[in-house]
Amino acid sequence: MSFATRDGSAWIPEYLTVIDGETCIGCGRCYKVCSRDVMHLHGVDDEGEILGKVIEGEDDDFDGELNRMIMVVDNSGACIGCGACARVCPKNCQTHVAADRIAA
Ligand code: SF4
Ligand code: SF4
């Protein structure tokens, strides 16, 4: 598979594959710059277990078990590999894989 920009120049997308839940601070910067709805905030309990997706506008403390929130890549197939999320992350907790090195 080959990729190119509009003028035909070679370009390799870098797909977001995973976010490290230990180092992510749930700041939301990646979510704000992503045009593809690839990741969402999730609640995490004291043991680091993911409680579920945080729904915008809903005041959900997950029955009092909420410890913190992290960003989770839960729609990875929609990523176009633009790299915008990597540029804004303050914690360097994202893993991106080049399109020519990823399994379809
Ligand atoms: S690389 Fe681009 S499309 Fe993919 S998750 Fe990051 S911002 Fe969204
Ligand atoms: S920008 Fe980085 S630290 Fe902030 S929510 Fe996204 S992955 Fe987590």
pLDDT tens-digit readout, 35-81: 999 999 999 999 999 999 998 888 778 989 999 999 999 999 999 99
- What is the pLDDT, as a whole number, of residue 75? 97
pLDDT at 104: 64
Tell me if 33 CB under 6 Å of ligand 1: yes
pTM of the model: 0.93
Report pLDDT for 103. Answer: 73
Q: Please enumerate in sequence order all residues whose Cβ is within 8 A of that of 49, keeping only pairs 6 or more positions apart, or say none.
A: none
Q: Which pLDDT belongs to residue 68?
A: 95
Distance 45 CA to ligand 1 centre (A): 27
Neighbouring residues of 87: CB distance < 8 A, sequence distance ≥ 6: 33
How far apart, in whole angstroms, are the C-alpha atoms of residue 58 and residue 51? 15
What's the gap in Å between 8 CA and the centre of ligand 2?
32
CATH number belonging to the domain at 14-101, selected among 3.30.70.20, 3.30.830.10, 3.20.80.10, 3.40.630.40: 3.30.70.20
